[in-house]
Amino acid sequence: AAGVIQSPRHLIKEKRETATLKCYPIPRHDTVYWYQQGPGQDPQFLISFYEKMQSDKGSIPDRFSAQQFSDYHSELNMSSLELGDSALYFCASSLFPDQLEAFFGQGTRLTVV
C-alpha cells in the first residue's frame, strides 16, 4: 500500500539558510500534519492543512511557513535556520473526518550547522 512520502530524507543546512521539506500524502487523504521531533523528545505538532486550507496551528515559529497544494502535497518552508531547528520533521496524513488514524512518513532529518 502507498504510504506518506517525504523528501528529502536528510538535509544539512547552515545557519541562516532556508530549507524546504516536501510531503506527499497517502492517495485520497485530504489532511496533512507536520510534526517536529527533537532529540529525545516526543513529536510536537506544528501545523495542519485540510483541503488546502490551514486547519490548525501549533508551536510553529514565525520563521516557518507551510502550504498544501491542489494535488494535496504539502511543503514546509523554514527560513533563517537556527541550530535549534535541527530535528526530525514528520509529515502525517489522514482522511478527515472519515478516519481517525493518521499515518506518518519516514521523516526528514534536518541538521543545521
- Determine how many CB atoms are found less than 10 A away from the CB of residue 58: 13
- Give the separation between CA 83 and CA 5, rounded to whole angstroms: 25
Residues numbered 26-85 forming contacts with another protein, rule: CB under 8 A? 31, 33, 35, 41-45, 48, 50, 55-56, 58
Tell me the site size for another protein, rule CB under 8 A.
28
**Beta-strand relationship, 31-37 and 108-112:** unpaired
Q: Judged by CB under 8 A, which of 22, 60, 67, 104 binds another protein?
A: 104
- Which residues make beta-bridge pairs with 48? 33, 56
Residues that bind another protein in the complex, under the rule CB under 8 A: 31, 33, 35, 41-45, 48, 50, 55-56, 58, 88, 90, 92, 94, 96-97, 100-107, 109
